[in-house]
Structures are given as C-alpha cells and as structure tokens.
Amino acid sequence: MTVVETRVGEAPAEATAGASTEVEALVPDATKLAVATTREQTSRVSQVVTLVAVIGPVIGLFSAMGLFWGVGFRLTDLVLFVAFYVVCGLGITVGYHRYFTHKSFEAAWGVKVALAILGAMTLQGPVTQWVTDHRKHHARSDQEGDPHSPHLSGDGFVGTVKGLWHAQVGWMFATKGMERGRVYGRDLYEDRTIRVVDRLYLVWVALSLGLPFLLGAWIGGSWADGVEAMVWAGLVRIFAFEHATFAVNSICHTFGRRTYDARDQSRNNWFVALLVFGEGWHNNHHAFPKSARHGLARGQLDLSWLVIRGLERLRLASRLRLPTAAQLERTPRTA
Ligand SMILES: [Zn+2]
Ligand SMILES: [Zn+2]
C-alpha cells in the first residue's frame, strides 16, 4: 500500500512525475480556489427536514417489504435485492467515485471494466458523465457552479427545502451532465475502453433489470417469479441505491459532524455511510479527496475501503492512497 504525502485536498507529491501525472493534472484542485463556507451553522429547520428526508424513505421501504412478505416479496427477492444493491453499489463507490473520479488507487484492466459496468447498472449514468459532474462538485463545492449543492437556493424554510430538493433530485433536471466537455474528464474521454463501455450504456441498463428477472425465474420456476424479482432486485433496488447515493449530496452537506476544515459544508454522517458503504464519511472525503479510505477514524465503517483492500490482497489493485498520520492531525475541527 502506498502512503502518499498529501496535504489536505492537494495532489500528492509523486503526482509531479510518472504515468499518472497527466491524469492528476486533469483533476481540478478545489483547495486552490480558497473557497469560503457559505454558512457557518446548519439551521434547526434544515436538520428536521433532513431527518425526515433521509429516514422517511428507508422506513417506507422496510414497511413495504414487511407488508408484502410472503405475498409479493419472498426470500429469493430479498437475497437478490441485497446482492444487486451491494455489488452494483460498489461499482459506484469503489468504481465511479474512488477509482475513476479521484484515482485513489490503481486497478487491473478487468477490474476497471467490471467497475464501470457495475456502476452503470445503478442507472446513475455513464461513467464519464458521473465523473465530470463529481469533479466539478469538488472544484466548486457549495459555491456557484456546484451541480448539486443544497446551499445555493436561498435561506429560510423555503430556501432550505428547495436546496435539499435540488441536491437530492432537482439537479438531475437542471445541472446534471453540463460538463460533458473535456475540462473535467479528459482522461476518461481519451480512454478507449471507457468510451466503449459508455456507448453500451443501455446494454448495462437492460442487464440491471434482465439479470434479476432471469435469476428470479430460474430459482422460482415461473415467469411470475422473474417479474417479482425484477421489481424488487431491479426497480426497487435501483430506486433505493439512487436515493442513498443522492443523500450524500444533500444530507452530507447539511447534517452531521465536521471533523476537518474542508472549506465547504461537507459532513460525516454515519447513517448515510451505512447505506452507501462508507461514502457518508463525506467531510473526511472533502478534506482528503484522493484517499482510498473515507472512514478514517476508529469505528467509521467503510465497506468500500475493505473491498479495495481485498482487491489489493488479490493483486487486482495497487498504490492505494492514504493521508499520513501527520496530515490526519492537521486542521482538526470540532462542530
Ligand atoms: Zn460533497
Ligand atoms: Zn468525491
């Protein structure tokens, strides 16, 4: 494993030489912009709205599962739901986010392709689009130009609700995919393998629904079982993971603990971290964007990091990036 000398939010020293240099140079460095925070404290209204927004759908989903149990939701559906949620979700957290966006480790060719396909199976868009949007988020975090900040829609109750709506869903109809140019994603535009995976996006979408259908029909022995599995492990699973991921945009910039001074409103939220495999340790991530590990403190469960370590053990991943102990002690903050 490589421990890279990295200042908070800055490119590692080794990025000035070697094959990955060009890629590093393409990723904008948010800290150079010296961004001021937009607001010092999260308001009470915002906290209440946030709690309802994040916990409500989870309670709703589990209630529906309970109500339908044995009637339209069976053990096979549950197993397939969990399996597809975890495996495809890791395509986003390990793949789209930590590997493709931030280059926090290096991966074998097969792993790269698999992660791009699994990420696409969450229906969050082709990898190039996702990465360019996310790099822009880091470069312009919580200020003009951030595609999904909850803090740019005004103050008070209306502004708070509008902001959370924009960060959770609204941005997809307004600011998503605005950065398809090469400014934020030239490395991916110039990667022929990724271009092919991107062009086949609809195939991965079909697979994301077709696989649960075929597995459900095969295990249950009827087409009706296939449809049932497709609904739960396909449609409902896509909905659940999508909202869990978007909670990182809205909740983790509004509600939670700020351990590091990351010059934006990013926060650590254990509940979101649980739902999205460590991505909820979002303040840690904004402070150390190139770190392969987001759960930096003891007890901060980070499934994505465990998977990356596992890939390293299997020699499928290498040069994992981590902040040094000295960096971790820098700019601590209590809030
Ligand atoms: Zn963020
Ligand atoms: Zn990021």
Give me the pLDDT at residue 168, please. Answer: 61
**C-alpha 97 to ligand 2 mean position (Å):** 6
Mention every residue, 6+ apart, whose C-beta is less than 8 A from residue 162. 153, 154, 170
**C-alpha 94 to ligand 2 mean position (Å):** 11
| Beta strands at 106-107 and 2-3: parallel, antiparallel or unpaired | unpaired
Kindly report, residue by residue over 185-199, the tens digit of the pLDDT. 888 888 999 999 999
Residue 231 pLDDT > 60: yes
Residue 213 pLDDT > 90: yes
- pLDDT average, residue stretch 52-61: 81
Give me the pLDDT at residue 149, please. Answer: 66
Higher pLDDT, 291 or 163: 291
- pLDDT average, residue stretch 256-274: 85
**C-alpha 214 to ligand 1 mean position (Å):** 37
For residue 276, the 8-state DSSP code is T
Radius of gyration, alpha carbons of the chain: 20
Residue 228 pLDDT > 50: yes
Higher pLDDT, 36 or 221: 221
**What's the rounded Cα separation, in Å, for the pair 30 and 139?**
4
**C-alpha 158 to ligand 2 mean position (Å):** 28
CA distances from 10 to 52, 86, 140, 302 (A): 35, 31, 15, 22
Give me the pLDDT at residue 254, please. Answer: 77
**φ, ψ (nearest 5 deg) of residue 255:** -135, 125
Residue 77 pLDDT > 90: yes
User: Among candidates 143, 334, 177, which has minimal Cα distance to 253?
Assistant: 143
User: Among candidates 133, 103, 137, 131, which has minimal Cα distance to 266?
Assistant: 137
- At 158, is the pLDDT very low, low, confident or very high (cuts 50, 70, 90)? confident
Higher pLDDT, 322 or 255: 322
**C-alpha 95 to ligand 1 mean position (Å):** 17
- pLDDT average, residue stretch 253-258: 81
Higher pLDDT, 245 or 212: 212
User: Among candidates 91, 89, 50, which has minimal Cα distance to 247?
Assistant: 50
**C-alpha 223 to ligand 1 mean position (Å):** 42
**C-alpha 71 to ligand 1 mean position (Å):** 40
Whole-number percent of the chain with pLDDT over 70: 73
**C-alpha 253 to ligand 2 mean position (Å):** 12
Higher pLDDT, 34 or 297: 297
